[in-house]
């Protein structure tokens, strides 16, 4: 697999260093370099760019601001001399964060993380094969984690994050993604949305009490907008 990448940095020396690193990395192909983010708009719109090495502190528009306009198919590795942006980079779902001065070992580690991401994405089931899939890969922090569908009790929405509450695991696994995009990846025969903030594993339902699904000490409400579909499931399987 070859990843097509672009470098955006207003420091010529930083650009030259990253160009050298890309040239040394067999699975990276450099599509272009730019001294500011606005100059890179056309190539990002007209070509399929897999990976973007993006400086944060630049004139006109910062890397953090520009990253919000990038297509979701293009993954970002931030490069900066200031470590206070690490948390913001994580919130924006960057694959990694490289602190200048960057050595090749650090660069290669981040590039390998990107390669792993694209390999995992390419191995995800298509819509036609979704029903036979038994797991999903999610990004939790800067790691990729495999979640088995059978281990999920329920999924909870919290603003920009979702939390996977798993069987026999005290702490949930969090991932920066939307409920809508997640719902499209789950097998419809096994999972159902019962509330704006909750998706449940239908195979794990054992107790229902007063319009709530009970998982141990947790009560998951079934809202009015999802009640009819859920009652249809109950009538088919419980009565």
| Other CB atoms within 10 Å distance of the CB of residue 223 | 14
pLDDT at 6: 97
pLDDT at 130: 44
pLDDT at 84: 58
- Domain co-membership, 109 together with 61: yes
pLDDT at 238: 59
- Domain co-membership, 89 together with 163: no
Distance CA 59, CA 127 (A): 42
pLDDT at 90: 47
Distance of CA 235 to the CA centre of its chain: 36
Residues facing 111 on adjacent strands: none
- Domain co-membership, 111 together with 14: yes
- Domain co-membership, 143 together with 223: yes
Domain that holds residue 78: 3-123
pLDDT at 194: 92
- Domain co-membership, 155 together with 67: no
Q: Residue 172's domain is classified under what CATH number?
A: 2.40.50.1020
Q: Among 55, 89, 123, where does a domain finish?
A: 123
Could you tell me if 226 and 195 are in contact, meaning their C-beta atoms sit under 8 angstroms apart? Answer: yes
Count up the domains in the chain and report the number. 2
pLDDT at 86: 47
Question: Where are any strands of DSSP class E within 141-221?
Answer: 143-148, 152-158, 161-166, 173-176, 191-195, 198-201, 207-209, 212-215, 218-221
Q: Among 92, 123, 154, where does a domain finish?
A: 123
- Domain co-membership, 152 together with 117: no
Q: Residue 70's domain is classified under what CATH number?
A: 3.40.50.2300
- Domain co-membership, 90 together with 158: no
Distance CA 25, CA 70 (A): 24
Distance of CA 176 to the CA centre of its chain: 6
- Domain co-membership, 233 together with 201: yes
- Domain co-membership, 36 together with 137: no
- Domain co-membership, 92 together with 174: no
- Domain co-membership, 191 together with 223: yes
Q: Among 123, 151, 186, where does a domain finish?
A: 123
Kindly write down the DSSP assignment for every residue of 9-28, as one continuous string: -S-HHHHHHHHHHHHH-TTE
- Domain co-membership, 114 together with 169: no
239 residues of the chain, pLDDT tens digit each: 899 999 999 999 999 999 999 999 999 999 999 999 999 999 988 899 999 999 988 888 888 888 888 887 899 999 888 765 544 444 455 788 888 899 999 999 999 989 988 887 776 555 444 444 688 888 777 677 888 999 999 999 987 789 999 998 888 998 887 787 788 788 888 999 999 899 999 999 988 888 899 998 899 999 988 888 888 888 776 55
């Amino acid at each position: 697999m070859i990843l097509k990448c672009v470098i955006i940095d207003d420091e010529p020396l930083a650009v030259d260093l990253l160009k050298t690193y890309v040239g040394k990395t067999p699975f990276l192909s450099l599509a272009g370099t730019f001294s500011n983010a606005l100059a890179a708009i056309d190539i990002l719109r007209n070509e399929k760019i897999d990976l973007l090495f993006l400086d944060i502190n630049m004139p006109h528009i910062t890397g953090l601001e520009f990253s919000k306009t990038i297509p979701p198919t293009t993954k970002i590795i931030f490069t900066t001399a200031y470590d206070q942006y690490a948390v913001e980079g994580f919130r924006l779902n960057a694959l990694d964060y490289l602190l200048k001065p960057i050595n090749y070992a650090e660069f290669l580690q981040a590039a390998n993380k990107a390669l792993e991401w694209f390999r995992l994405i390419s191995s995800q089931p298509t819509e036609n094969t979704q029903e036979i899939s038994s797991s999903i890969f999610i990004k939790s922090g800067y790691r990729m984690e495999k979640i088995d569908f059978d281990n999920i009790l329920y999924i909870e929405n919290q603003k920009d994050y979702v939390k996977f509450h798993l069987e026999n695991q005290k702490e949930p696994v969090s991932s920066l993604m939307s409920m809508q995009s997640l719902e499209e990846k789950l097998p419809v025969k096994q999972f159902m949305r019962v509330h704006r903030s909750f998706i449940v594993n239908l195979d794990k339902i054992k107790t229902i009490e007063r319009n709530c699904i009970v998982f141990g000490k947790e009560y998951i409400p079934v809202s009015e907008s999802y009640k009819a579909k859920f009652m249809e499931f109950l009538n088919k399987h419980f009565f």
